[in-house]
Structures are given as structure tokens and as C-alpha cells.
Structure 1
């Protein structure tokens, strides 16, 4: 299954295309992972082409298995389809009420509304695709030292629910935000 989501441009943000990861994304993925800010927020920063290829292959396998859906977020109108972010829907299981979303934004794209718009697109897609199989809510988790993620959660309708105690591999307490499915 292959899905491409399109998000129209706005006065403050570029047009976005969300699609499955491809092996030709390796150079852009490695470039994004060179950013110290991103490296400090991801569990396993990617440093070599082999690591990036394995990561992409793993995401494609998870997509094919229907349990995790990682989207490369690109800006198609500029710089030959430039990678600007990643949004993932994970822990999707039939009959399970909740799943988790996560994301990162490339350094050059931060502060331009990319994360909220891409997260909204994936959230809407997830509820459209999986509500009939029992999905009722999505969780967004982040460490307490990441106020930008709190702002993204608020902008996209994810309500703050609680502080979670630190546990490996995360050294700090975290925030849990939840967005519930509301039928239209």
C-alpha cells in the first residue's frame, strides 16, 4: 500500500507532500540527521548510508505489515522535492483503541508551520483509515525540555494529559498529549 498526502501551501508555509520513504531519500535523511538539535531528540541518529538504508527498509516493511506508517514530508515546489520533516503513525493494531504519532522537522524547515500541518494531515488520514477498526485516539509524547513539541501539539488539537516519569531511553520526564477521534 502506498499513500501520498498533499497539503496546500499557505501564506506562512510551503506546499507539502507526505509519502513513503524511498532509497533515494538517503542523502537528505543523513543531512537532516547531521543537525545536533535533531540528533538530541531521536532515539538512534543515522550517521551512515547503510544505517539510513536499513532505517528506510524497516519503515517500508512496517508499512507493508500495516503496523507503522512513516511519511517523508517534502516541499515539492522548491529544491527538487526537498525533505523537510518526518511524521510517523505507529503501534497501529486492529481493535486497539490508541496509536502514537511522532515527528521531527529538519533544521531549515523549523518555525515555518511544517510540523503542525504535516501532523494534522497524518492525524486526519489515521482517523479516516483506522477509526472503523477501533482507533479512537492518538498520543503524542515528548520530553519536558521540548516546548516546541508542546506548541505543535496544541496547534493540532492534541490536549495535554499528563507528565510521564523518565524511563530509558528517555532521560527526562515527558508530556503525553492526546487527540480523540470525533466523527464528522
Structure 2
């Protein structure tokens, strides 16, 4: 299966490409998880090649099952591409009205607008692809002290809907942001 989403060049930077994860991403995935900031906000940690393979296999299984659609976000750079982020739609259920989105960015990508651009591309794709099947709402959950994620959610039109109590493995309360499918889309 090949799914590619192009995010054109933007005032905030060059084009981005959202594509399926491959084994060639393993070295950059391991490097991304060496960042203590990212490890603070993610539940699954990648420490070595075995962890990276397991993580990528989980992403492939999600595509196979249709309930966790994860993309490697890469930035073209001199004939190559460099991993800058991950975005995911999860909890998809046939005929279900809502799903969750999530993302992370590499250390080098932070502060460059990549998280917002990748999340916006994912959001548009998810509604275009699944609104006919009933997808109406996307939810983004982050811990209340993750201010950067709060800014990204708001910038992408995800409205703060509620604060939820801490629930393991998350040590802090969380913000739930939602974005509804645009009016006029099938299912709306």
C-alpha cells in the first residue's frame, strides 16, 4: 500500500512529504528518540534497532487493521529526505464518528512550524478520506503542561473542549482539543 500526502512549500518552510514508515527510517527513528523532550511526551520509547523494528511493525499493523494510520513526515533535502515528524490517526472504527490524532517532531524540527503543517495535512486527508464513512470529529489529547502541543492544536483549529484527569501512563491532567469536519462534507 502506498499513501503519500504532499504538503506544499509554505511561508514557514519547504514542502513536507507524509508517507508510510519503512525500515530505512530505523536510524533516524532511533536518533529521534534520543531526545529527552520527546521521551517525556511519548509512551513507547525506541532505544535500539530492535525497538525501532517493533515500533515500525506496529505502524504497519495499524495500516493492515485500518485502526492506526501513521505517517513518517519527511523534509526533502538535497536529493534525500530527512525525518522530521510522525503524525497518526488512531481509533478509527468503520462508521465511527470520531478518531484521535497525535504527532511528535524531532528536535531539529521544533520551532519551524512543521508540527502544525503536518497535523493540518493529516487532518485534511483524514476528513477527505473518511467523512463519507461517518468521520465527523478528530480529537487531540495532550498533557496540560505540554504548552507547545496546545499551541499547535489551536493553530490547526482544534478547539479546547475539556480537561480530563490524569490516567496512567500519563502523570498529569490532559487537554482534549477537537476539530470537526468542514460543513458540506459528506456525513455533515
Structure 2's unaligned 5+ residue stretches are none
TM-score (norm 2): 0.95
- Residues 39, 5 of structure 1: alpha-carbon distance in 2 compared, 3 angstrom cutoff: same
Aligned counterparts of 1:54 and 1:183: Cα–Cα separation in 2: 39
1:35 aligns with 2:35: yes
Q: How does 1:1-184 map to 2 (within 5 A)?
A: 1-78=1-78, 80-184=80-184
Is the contact made by 1:15 and 1:77 (CA closer than 8 Å) also made in structure 2? no
Is the contact made by 1:163 and 1:173 (CA closer than 8 Å) also made in structure 2? yes
Aligned counterparts of 1:24 and 1:102: Cα–Cα separation in 2: 22
Q: How many residues align?
A: 184
Cα displacement (A) at 1:15: 1.1
Is the contact made by 1:70 and 1:88 (CA closer than 8 Å) also made in structure 2? yes
1:6-37 CA-to-partner distances (Å, cap 9, x unmatched) read 11122322210000000010000000000000
TM-score (norm 1): 0.97
Aligned counterparts of 1:102 and 1:4: Cα–Cα separation in 2: 18
Superposition RMSD on alpha carbons, in Å?
1.1
- Residues 146, 79 of structure 1: alpha-carbon distance in 2 compared, 3 angstrom cutoff: farther
